[in-house]
A and B are shown apart, each in its own frame.
Chain A
Amino acid sequence: QSVLTQPPSVSAAPGQKVTISCSGSSSNIGDNYVSWYQHLPGTAPKLLIYDNNKRPSGIPDRFSGSKSGTSATLGITGLQTGDEADYYCGTWDSSLSAGVFGGGTKLTVL
């Protein structure tokens, strides 16, 4: 059971938009920055979003992040087949004094 809650899967057609939610509590999302990672099988996870809504260099602006209270959302517009991957939210938990991740969401581009 992950500390952060994500939907197991989402799907949308190429060119469409999708959002992935991440729900936590006051000790994690409510108290710290949220990051998002894209994970393709057999590769290292890639940082997509940090500080709730910032993109590292090289990440296209099709990817966006937001946070409100104890929840965060990853948005992906103009979906491409290459976006099919597992997406994870992550943050720090101030009560646990440990990093925490969501259970992951599998994105299917139909």
Chain B
Amino acid sequence: QLQLQESGPGLVKPSETLSLTCTVSGGSINSSDYYWGWIRQPPGKGLEYIGNIYYSGYTYYNPSLRSRVTISIDTSKNQFSLKLSSATAADTAVYYCARHRLGARDFDYWGQGTLVTVSS
């Protein structure tokens, strides 16, 4: 059974970089059938797509976040990571990592999510 687990600091100071890692177990991240993605949910709001990465390193990003987002992948560790620079209070959210299927373009496996608060 595939499992994804987010990890990283729960508190980030304004203007600093928010960094999270997703560790995948029960399957290989080095697959041509899937992308690996990040989605977030601010308090009281809906889901927001952040971006995806392929095992080759190819990425797609939400245009509204593109200037601040970097998603990277480490196939040797079966992990992929998110960096969001110049964080503000508006970036406070529960951050989810998920598997994105190439054909269906859906997210079929999700991590439990991790709350990141941006505050001084």
> Does A associate with B in a complex?
yes
Residue ranges of A at the interface with B (Cβ–Cβ < 8 Å): 2, 32-33, 35, 37, 39, 43-47, 50-51, 56, 86, 88, 90-92, 96-104
Q: Which residues of B contact A35 (CB under 8 A)?
A: 104-107
Q: Return the chain A residue nearest B108 by Cβ.
A: A47
* Residue contact B49 to A33, C-beta cutoff 8 Å: no
Residue ranges of B at the interface with A (Cβ–Cβ < 8 Å): 37, 39, 46-49, 51-52, 60-63, 96, 100-101, 104-108, 110-113
Smallest Cβ distance from A4 to chain B, in angstroms?
Answer: 10
* Residue contact A90 to B106, C-beta cutoff 8 Å: yes
Smallest Cβ distance from A32 to chain B, in angstroms?
Answer: 6
* Residue contact B47 to A45, C-beta cutoff 8 Å: yes
* Residue contact B110 to A44, C-beta cutoff 8 Å: yes
A to B CB contacts below 8 Å, 11 in the list: A32-B105, A35-B105, A39-B47, A51-B104, A86-B46, A88-B46, A98-B49, A98-B61, A99-B105, A100-B49, A101-B48
Known: A50-B106, A56-B108, A88-B46. A99 touches B100 (CB 8 A): yes
